[in-house]
Copies of this chain bind each other. A is one copy, B any other.
């Protein structure tokens, strides 16, 4: 089958060299600092970005090997379909996080609320514009997360992540 090829446009740095003990979502990573070293050739693409408080990072979950169609997420004791979770072992290991943009200096982007492993290859940056994604007042249902999501604030990854490498 034809593959789709992308390239790393930079590297995300964070305090998380170890997959165990990582926050599992940005809301559990409040205040955690990181930085993006964008490749210099893409620097001009950062113009106007500093006006945004939050940015969407799309990245390669480079430590994830293989995938499972059903997984037991950190927040649950039952197996769920992989597409109904944010678990890393996906058919295409693509991660997405909304992080806080602190400042930009040259091709270095300083960020906080970082739930991403150190050394992660960055694929894309998009401005976070919640108004674009969903109409205000349009009701949101979040399935099996409904009575779990508040736990994401404090929950850290456990040894299920050893499965991750």
Residues of A that sit less than 8 Å from B by CB: 1-9, 25-27, 30, 42, 44-56, 58, 60, 69-70, 79-86, 90-92, 94, 96-98, 100, 121, 123-135, 138-146, 149, 152
Contacts and interface: CB of A to CB of B under 8 A. Distances in A.
A86 B30 contact: no
Contact of A60 (B4, B82, B97, B128): B4
A25 B132 contact: yes
Main secondary structure of the interface of A (DSSP, over half): mixed
B81 A44 contact: yes
Indicate how many identical chains form the complex. 2
A47 B79 CA distance: 9
Given A3-B6, A7-B1, A7-B91, A129 B145 contact: yes
B141 A53 contact: yes
B143 A127 contact: yes
Nearest to A126: B86
Nearest to A44: B69
Contacts of A7: 1-4, 91-92
B83 A70 contact: no
Most buried by B among A5, A26, A27, A100: A27
Contacts of A149: 129, 131-132
Contacts of A127: 83-86, 142-143, 145
Contact of A70 (B47, B58, B124, B146): B47
Contact of A82 (B45, B56, B69, B141): B45
